[in-house]
Amino acid sequence: MKAITLFGISNCDTVRKARKWLAENQIEHTFHDFRKDGLSKTEINHWLERQGWEALFNKRSTSYRALPDEDKTNIDQAKAIELMLEHPTLIKRPVLLTENSVQIGFKAEQYQELFN
């Protein structure tokens, strides 16, 4: 399998679980902390080609609840992208990028299926 990148933030519990699972299963990968390493519109658009913006945009996050009301209204893909670029913690985590897929979130069963 070609390059695998796990995107997230290092202090997120779900990201930690995904990283631990990858390490325990000896899956070589790169970790990209989008809070520290940044995130581009190109990367987000690539993920959205595989997953809809609604799957990537986390309306249940603390970051979303902290947004001003005008940012929470009339959200479409373009507005969601701008908000995710401005506030990367609005992105559901982790995002696992492989040669053929983009997985959002972590479930051990899904990772097991993906890497078998």
Q: Which of these is catalytic: 4, 12, 27, 55?
A: 12
Q: Does residue 12 carry a catalytic annotation? A: yes
| DSSP codes of every residue in the chain | ----EEEE-TT-HHHHHHHHHHHHTT---EEEETTTT---HHHHHHHHHHS-HHHHB-TTSHHHHHS-HHHHSS--HHHHHHHHHH-GGGB-S-EEE-SS-EEES--HHHHHHHT-
Catalytically active residues, by annotation: 12
